[in-house]
Amino acid sequence: MISIDIKKSFKDIDFNFKVEIIKGSINALFGESGAGKTTFLRLLAGLETPNSGYIKVDNKIWFNKKINLTPQKRDIGFVFQDYALFPNMSIIENLRFAQSLKDEKFIEELLEMIDLKEERNSYPKQLSGGQQQRVALARAVARKPKLLLLDEAFSAVDSKLRSTLQNDIQNIHKRLNLTTIIISHDIAEVYKLASNVIVIEKGVIKKSGSPDILFENSQTSGKFRFSAKIMKIEKADTVYIVTLLIQNNLTKVVSTEEEILTMKVGDDVLVASKAFNPIIIT
Amino acid sequence: MNKLYGKISKIISHEGISLVNIETDQAVLGTVLIDTPESCTYLEIGKKITVAFKETEVAIGLKNIGTISMANQIPCKIEKITEGKILSKISLTCKGAKISSIITSNSSKRLNLNNGLEVIALVKANEISLLEE
């Protein structure tokens, strides 16, 4: 069990994170940008220091009034969106470097899990972006941490690669009996990976429970409704075509001149359709 | 998006689906929703509500339509026709409100639509959305 009850004042926000996380679970942090998801991970990792409270992992104190373990002593694997591999080290050297206790057998196992056994002696720049991301994930767990933190690590990848990385996370999570916390805006990803969702609003943990709590948010109710960004507005015959970005997919919606007057490229909008219109193709 | 304003006058629910009637100044409109008064707070008799439907979902009928399944029939007058190569936008007025319909230019020609003509705007019940004011 990981017990967290910490307070931190930072940039005019009073963060108050109180939650218990079950050992071996995959948890998704959910909330608007600026709500405090990254701050929560940074406090857990020891990259920020709380003003008060405690962090206890399996009965070991990581933080309280007297104790404040350094990030290196916290047994954490962390993957950021802008992960950086060491460019002058081969893949296997990158993994070895992350280990404090050498364990070649485990490195072999990791290379197998991320499907890069053949590329062990290649350098990062010789790999595709997706392969590099898989190495970053393997490196984060090379020293068998207790806690794996993923901060929108895979938000910038296409859906096929994303699915591969999600499978990697599931495999690694199971193999190491990790406790994992991920930040993701992708509800499909949250549904696929997480057994528990922690909802953060304005610096405070509002609720925590099964992924079904996401349905309580009206933006994601059972209807055909998505948040989107306007990418392009083009005139076509007597109508206009609005190109929208919905997560990683571009889609087009017909609109009228009057509606176009209220829109501009870059706007965040809600796209809705009646539940009757969409067709499902399997 | 076409918008008309009215009050909910009737709700019939069965197994999670509801047929909701809305009395607007222009016509009584019916909509089918995947919601019930239990799942949706604004579904209540007398509630003021905005009725919304997309221009591309509005069909045009001439007077004396005869038999047709679409119960949502709004009597209108054509105010303006913007003709494109493929699509035409028919701007309509009806008892103080303005709505429009986007149909193919072929259909507009076939029906011989022109300014001032009295027509019926038709909308299928499952194309009408309700927006809380």
pLDDT confidence of residue B108: 96
**If you ran DSSP here, which 8-state letter would residue A68 be given?**
B
Give dist(CA A166, CA A204) in Å, integer.
27
- CATH class in words for A2-217: alpha beta
The verdict on B131 touching A (C-beta cutoff 8 Å) is: no
Place of tokens 């689906």: B17
B88: CATH: 2.40.50.100
The tens digit of pLDDT for each residue in A175-214 reads 888 999 999 887 778 888 999 999 999 999 988 888 876 6
Whether A276 shows a pLDDT value over 80: the answer reads no
- Name the one residue in this structure whose structure tokens are 């963060």: A15
Asked whether the predicted pLDDT for residue A231 surpasses 70, the reply is: yes
Fold of A224-273: OB fold (Dihydrolipoamide Acetyltransferase, E2P) (2.40.50)
The one-character DSSP state at A152 is S
CB contact under 8 A, A256 and B89: yes
Q: How many domains does chain B have?
A: 1
Under an 8 A CB cutoff, do A237 and B87 touch? yes
One-letter amino acid at B124 equals K
**DSSP reduced 3-state for A173:** helix
Per CB-CB distance under 8 Å, the chain B contacts of A223 are 34
C-alpha to C-alpha distance for A255 and A236, rounded to whole angstroms: 10
Say what the ipTM of the complex is: 0.75
Q: Residue B63's domain spans which residues? A: 2-132
Residue ranges of domains in chain A: 2-217, 224-273
A237 at interface of B, judged by CB pairs closer than 8 A: yes
pLDDT of residue A214: 66
Give the predicted TM-score (pTM) of the model: 0.58
Chain B CA closest to residue A259: B1
* Each residue's pLDDT tens digit, B51-105: 999 999 999 999 777 788 888 999 999 999 999 999 999 999 999 999 999 999 9
